[in-house]
Amino acid sequence: MEEEGDKGVFAHHREEKEVGAFSMAAGREAKLQLVQRHVRAFPDFPKKGIVFRDICPILKDAAALKAVIDLFEEHVRNNHQHVDLIVGLDARGFLFGPLLAQRLGIGFVLVRKKGKLPGATVSVSYDLEYGKAEAEIQEDAVAPGQKVLLIDDLLATGGTLYAASELMRKQQAEVLGCMVVIELKELNGTDKLKPHRVFSLIQY
């Protein structure tokens, strides 16, 4: 039979958990707001009709940059218990990927534009708005069976992240998901990346 004192202890522990969960949620929301305040919008850049989302203020502000990495780290630790590598896309994925990889205690791999990496490489072509491009990695960068997460600053149409996922498929690696700071939802980039899930901090 449960004593009154035991009930009080259990209730206290439950309250502590609820307060802790609320505090974590409040902290997460504060970090998201901080990041969002440091994204600038430039209409009609690089051409008329496009709103360019500039992440340079995030990089300039230590607290905002830390908030980005905190949020990515929290997502990975909560959703992906075993990750071997963070794979970053040329070029802004290189800004966030190594910081996250260091936090997680794992390695970082570069996906670069064609012709930028020495040694034996593996490449795939992908569509741009006007023409095609190629992405590549070094042949020994990712081993078969390794579990990887892809990271970039922004998801628009999904072309470059899709190319990166195809590179991972060629290497017989397992893509656990994709992570971006900003997602432009109206461009439906997530559809191109299915079945891979996309975690985005900010959506427009």
Displacement of CA 95 from its chain's centroid (Å): 11
Q: For residue 199, give both structure tokens.
A: 């975690």
Q: Is residue 112 annotated as part of the catalytic site, yes or no?
A: no
Alpha-carbon distance values, 86 to 30, 98, 128, 164, 192 (Å) = 26, 8, 24, 12, 21
Of the residues 73, 92, 134, 166, only one is catalytic, namely 92
Q: For residue 170, report the phi and psi dihedrals to the nearest 5 degrees.
A: -60, -35
Active-site residue, 136 included: no
User: SS3 of 82, please?
Assistant: coil
Among 2, 3, 4, 129, the active-site one is: 129
Active site residues: 92, 129
